[in-house]
Amino acid sequence: MEALKRLAEADAIVRLRERDASLFTDDIDARIPIMQRLGWTDLAKKAPGRLPLLVNLASALADEGVTDIVLLGMGGSSLTPLVLARVIGSAPEMPSLHVLDTTSPAQVKRLLDTLDPNGVFVLIASKSGTTVEPLSLYAILRAWMDEGIGRPAAGRRFAVITDPGTPLEKLRQRENMRVTLSAPATVGGRFSALSMFGLAPAALIGIDLERLIAPAAAMEEACQTPGDENPAALLAAWLADAHEQGRDKLTLVCSTALRAFGLWAEQLVAESLGKNGSGVVPVIEHSPEQPTGYGPDRAVVVVRLAGDAELTAWSRETAMAHPVFEIVLADEYDVGAEFVRWEHAVALLGHLLGVNPFDEPNVAEAKTATNAILDGSESVPKAAIDLDGTWVTWAGELAQPSPLPSTRADAVASLAAAARPGDYIALLAYLPDDETVLMPLRVAAAALERAAGVPVCLELGPRYLHSTGQLHKGGPNTGLFCVVTARDRTDIEIPAKKFTLAMLHRAQAEGDLLTLARHARRVLRLDLPGIGLHDISALSDDLAGAAR
């Protein structure tokens, strides 16, 4: 592989191990922030030293009758726990883990309605300690817990995971929360899988951390070997060579039991590499079929369990028409090793693509726009038309049809019709993370992908703002974006805030719409009358038929 030679010529593997920031930039001033983000390369090696504290905390919570762990976080602070909960799951007799990485009032209310505050322990996870979503959710859950079990006792049922000295750590002290689990300040959120951000939630639900860490530590050692033996370098070089050939759509296909891993890898790839007008577009395939619709911009990575005969056969058949890189895991615990492989691979790929993989220059723009909408200093484009209760808006570089369409299906078709070879479509859905609601959209996305001949990604808001949102605005201008919102009346007050959770949820969608438009992206907004199954199924039918 040509890219493997480039890594060898740059001595990239050794320089990454030595945390040499010049691997990523020639600008001396720019090296300082990069140096402050390179503390992740030996997290697995150091992890055993963190286990006694976590084991003791898990034991104490079990003695106190805790049955449910609720994690409040976004992006790198929430996706590793989400993966571990879905891929490995809780040990017998241990608490269940509920990850709240949303501002959807319906989803938050639905969870709280199912929980008994007497059995709940809450983790607030934020590297910066200033992230609006977990802080807002903390205010809501703290009021709920105070009412349920009394304020003095409630404080013992909260802990924080954050960098030393952050505002969240100071809040913990003021609010008499139980403990701070400190993460290394030199580790960025999306590279923090094996720091406290991933290890603490895993420990509290009884995941065997020694079994998780062992393959991860072995992978760390392997990632220091020469290029042709180095699993991360081989993956990075394969992706770089594919990118050079115009295959910038990284298609991730995972065994059913590993499917959640795609969400973590998607964030790592998109947020690390999608900038400066370039990048790799991750596309998660949920139900792979024979890829007759795949174009020449696809590079397929299969992550499967050794015993997955169906995906093994699919992978071999796909390899006859498209480049395939296959990763085989002995069991679910090997996901720990994959965290390490992909972190090293993406760092090396950043070098090969000429981007700094440790910053996210465009993420703050949507946050700023959200705040401006909440304080009234910004407004969003008005809907052009009301189609049976769905308010439709065209924004950015997506041309508004003339005459205006008479049906929502025709409005959606205007988005599909704008797709060109090499494009992708992203459905940015501000909806609850509920498969009953989302499955019709997944089916529709697959149908639209086959018909339009371009990849279709289904992203949940606001989760994607901390994941693919960087790529959408800073990456190549090849995306078409359908922002799906709903005027659902479910709402929750946020104590000490002038806005409610529903207002925040809606402002985040509208802030991103504004930001995408300012970056000359092609944007369609569909504001549905509600989030009922009827509303989503009708939209799904329109999406599925948009490119016919």
Q: pLDDT tens digits for 396-416? A: 999 999 999 999 999 999 999
With b for 16 or more beta-carbon neighbours within 10 A and e for fewer, the 318-350 pattern comes to: beeebbbbbbbbeebbbbbbbbbbbbbbbbbbb
Q: What is the pLDDT of residues 354-408, one digit of tens each?
A: 999 999 999 999 999 999 999 999 999 999 999 989 999 999 999 999 999 999 9
> Using CA atoms, how far apart are residues 187 and 181, in angstroms rounded to an integer?
14
User: Is the per-residue pLDDT at 237 higher than 70?
Assistant: yes
> Quick one: average pLDDT of 497-524?
97
The pLDDT assigned to 450 comes to 82
The pLDDT assigned to 116 comes to 98
The tokens for 413 are 């078709």
> Quick one: average pLDDT of 331-348?
98
CATH number of this structure's domain 363-544: 3.40.50.10490
The pLDDT assigned to 386 comes to 96
Residue 489 to residues 3, 96, 226, 428, 432: CA-CA distances in angstroms? 53, 29, 57, 20, 14
Q: What are phi and psi of 445, to 5 degrees?
A: -60, -40
The pLDDT assigned to 104 comes to 98
Q: Using 50, 70 and 90 to split pLDDT, how confident is the model at 290? A: low
Q: Using 50, 70 and 90 to split pLDDT, how confident is the model at 465? A: very high
Q: What is the DSSP annotation of 155-208?
A: HTTEEEEE-TT-HHHHHHHHTT-SEEEE--TTB-GGG-TTSHHHHHHHHHTT--
Q: Using 50, 70 and 90 to split pLDDT, how confident is the model at 29? A: confident
Cα pseudo-dihedral 37, 38, 41, 47, rounded to 10: -50
The pLDDT assigned to 292 comes to 56
- Residue range(s) of every CATH 3.40.50.10490 domain in the chain: 2-36+214-353, 43-207, 363-544
> Quick one: average pLDDT of 438-462?
91
Cα pseudo-dihedral 43, 45, 49, 55, rounded to 10: 80
User: By percentage, how much of the chain surpasses pLDDT 70?
Assistant: 98
The pLDDT assigned to 496 comes to 94
The pLDDT assigned to 464 comes to 97
Q: Using 50, 70 and 90 to split pLDDT, how confident is the model at 288? A: low
The pLDDT assigned to 448 comes to 87
User: By percentage, how much of the chain surpasses pLDDT 90?
Assistant: 92
Q: Is 491 helix (H, G, I), strand (E, B) or coil?
A: coil
Q: Is 399 helix (H, G, I), strand (E, B) or coil?
A: coil
The pLDDT assigned to 451 comes to 80
Q: What is the DSSP annotation of 333-369?
A: GGHHHHHHHHHHHHHHHHHHHT--TT--TTHHHHHHH
Q: Tell me which H or E stretch contains 472.
A: helix 469-474
With b for 16 or more beta-carbon neighbours within 10 A and e for fewer, the 401-436 pattern comes to: beeebeebbbbbbbbbeebeeebbbbbbbbbbbeee
How many Cα neighbours within 13 Å face the side chain of 90?
A: 15
Q: Using 50, 70 and 90 to split pLDDT, how confident is the model at 453? A: confident
Q: What is the pLDDT of residues 158-206, one digit of tens each?
A: 999 999 999 999 999 999 999 999 999 999 999 999 999 999 999 999 9
> Quick one: average pLDDT of 466-488?
97
The pLDDT assigned to 547 comes to 59
The pLDDT assigned to 30 comes to 86
Q: Using 50, 70 and 90 to split pLDDT, how confident is the model at 437? A: confident
Specify the pTM: 0.96
**How much is the mean pLDDT over the chain?**
95
Instruction: Among 2.40.10.10, 3.30.70.1150, 2.60.40.60, 3.40.50.10490, name the CATH number for the domain at 43-207.
Output: 3.40.50.10490
User: Using omega within 30 degrees of 0 as the cis cutoff, is the peptide bond preceding 403 cis?
Assistant: yes
Domain 2-36+214-353 in CATH 3.10.50.40? The answer is no
Based on the number of CB atoms within 10 Å of its own CB, is 370 exposed (0-12), middle (13-18) or buried (19 or more)?
Answer: buried
Based on the number of CB atoms within 10 Å of its own CB, is 217 exposed (0-12), middle (13-18) or buried (19 or more)?
Answer: buried
Pairing of strands 390-396, 385-387: antiparallel
The pLDDT assigned to 52 comes to 95
The tokens for 451 are 């018909």
